[in-house]
Every structure is written in C-alpha cells, then in structure tokens.
Amino acid sequence: MYSAHPMITEIDISFLHRAVRLAVKGHGTVEPNPMVGCIITNKEGEIVGEGFHEKFGEAHAEVNALTMAGESACGGTAYVTLEPCSHHGKTPPCSQALLDSGIARVVIGAVDPHKEANGGAVILRDHGIDVEIVNDAVCSDIIAPFLQKNNTGLPWITCKWAQTSDGNIETSKGDSPWISCKESQQLVHEERGCVDAIVVGVGTVIADNPTLTVRGATKYRTPVRVVIDPALRTPLHSNVLNGDAPTLIAHVEGADTTAFCGHEVFALPINNGVMNLKPLFRHLSKAYNATNVLAEGGATLFEHIFSQNLANELWIFTAAHRSILPPRVNMNTLVDSLTTTLIDEQPSGVDSVTRLLVTPLIP
C-alpha cells in the first residue's frame, strides 16, 4: 500500500505504469502535446480497454481506451497517466467522455499543469466520480518535455554522445569515426525520427561532415539541423547544407553572413565572452514548435550547454574499450560535475547505454 494515498493499492500503481508504457508509444507523433496513456478496468478489475494519445490533433488516450471498452467501462475504473482535460480544444473534453461512459472511479497519475486543460478532476468529483490523484513520479517523468516547453518556453534538451570507457568522445585520425556499435547507432536514428531538432557544433561539422538526418528508422518528424558556428566556418559543401532537411546556422551577432545567402541563419549575443545559447533554443521552441531537441556534440558544445544550465537529460553510449590517446575533454569528469539522477541503464549490443536526468542549478 502507498501510505500517502491509503485508497491507492499496488495494483492501482501497476495499472498506471502499464498506462505509461502505452503513453510513450506516442513519442514523436503527439508533440507538442504530452504523452498520455489510459487503462480501463470493469467492475471485476479486469482490463477491458487500453489506449494512448496517438497523434497530435486526434483522439486522446481516454477516448481510445473507452472506445475499446465499450459498455464494459460502466461501473469500472479508468487509470490515466495525466489528469483528463476539461476544455474543448482540437477534441472534446475527456472528462465528459469519462462521465458519459458511466465510469465509477478515476485514478490519475499526474495533475495537468496546463491552465486551459486542467480541472478535469474537479469536474469528475463534482459529478460523483471517485477520483484519486497519485502524483506518481513515473507519470510525471513522461510529461517533463511538455512541462519544460509550457513553463519555460524552452524545449527539452537531451545531450547525446558516444564515448570510450575512459570518457573520450573523439577518435584518433585514421580510426573508424564510430565509437558506438551498430545497435546503438540504430537507437540514435530511431530517436532522431522523433525529435524536432538536432544540434551540433561547427567543430563536429568540419571534422566528421555529418548528415544529421534520419536513416534506417521511421521518420515521424523531420528534425531541423542546427549548427552552432560563431564565426561561420561551416564549409559550403557540408552535408548539413545539402537540402535533405532544414538547416539553421547559429552565429555571433555581427558576423558576415553573405556566403550563407539562401540558408537560414540566426544571430546570438555574446555574454561575458561566451555565446548565449538560450535565445537559440527559445527560437526553436517558437519558430519550429520544438518540444524535444537532441544535442549531439562535440565536447565544446556540451561544455557550453552545461555551463549555461540548459541540459535536461543525458544519453550516453559507452563502449567497452578505452581510447588510445587521453581525452581532450573527459566526459566522465564533465558528467560528475553535474547533479544527475539515473533514469535507465541497459546494454545495446556491446555498448552500455545510460540515461541521466540533469537537476538544474539554482541561479
């Protein structure tokens, strides 16, 4: 039993977490909306309906689950990862759909912070529905990018890199440019197909000439390619300028952009001798409606993102081998300088994949 919620049982929590596993299936197709999942059980506690928010502008999780459940929902329980909406947006309010179904009880994983959409719990209670709000950490985690965008005007920034076991993200001249294995590279392309932007520094463009596109995976979104290039050193023959996807070059104010006529450029201010990246990410949120941004390096870019308190999550692919040369920037040391919480750690081929949540520093 959960002592803080005497009416909530372990079975309730297990159903909520099952709904979370449904919710994340919407990653890449529901943004900028939050990912939401729903489980419906009948009077006997048997699952009769499941659903998740599948696509932005289409039916929400509760409606999809209720459609599957049909009349079996009457007198049953709805487990929803996020408080049912109460307003008429692109779809009718889910709180009304639950009322119409005859549901007797609703267990909510997290309160909806959106001013226009919240209040569903109050409406349900006012109509005699038994409502339990759990404030479950797992349910809150999956709406973190949505909260970030709505509360700060910034997208959720995930810093992704591959490194050797001793923290080196650079390969020696003449070696394979890939530190991670094929399975890890596939995971990255799958995530690229779900995010709104991919950000790299100009050093990475010059050294590796990356394409920064989605290959060998489903492309739910076409992420804009962003190059942090203070002095506009990006070679005009670079793959990032090939027209396969939108590209934005971020430079310092006053730089000569003549050579980049026909390409989108964005000027950034210098604060205390350092390029201020926050206006760029705010621009991505507004102009591209970006919710999720993947920063892919290199080390200098990560140092600036970390020092400016902009990283939300780290996604680290660690190979089993050590580097031949000592790292110019030891990423293990850099990560240790941050306050992080482990989200997940698992194998990927011969690599180890770690996801860490970054706790922002208080200014």
Instruction: Give the active site residues.
Output: 62
What is the DSSP-derived secondary structure letter of residue 302? H
Instruction: Round to whole Å and give the CA distance between 294 and 226.
Output: 10
Per DSSP, helices labelled H in 30-143 are 61-69, 94-101, 120-126, 137-141
What is the DSSP-derived secondary structure letter of residue 66? H
Beta carbons within 10 angstroms of residue 295's beta carbon: 26
CA angle 239, 278, 287 (to 5 degrees): 65
Whether the link from the prior residue into 6 is cis, omega within 30° of 0, is no
Q: Which residues contact 46 (CB under 8 A, 6 or more apart)?
A: none
Instruction: Round to whole Å and give the CA distance between 349 and 135.
Output: 35
Instruction: Round to whole Å and give the CA distance between 184 and 155.
Output: 24
What are the structure tokens assigned to 79, written together? 């487990």
Which H helix or E strand runs over 251?
strand 247-252
Count, in order, helices (H) and strands (E) of the chain: 11, 16
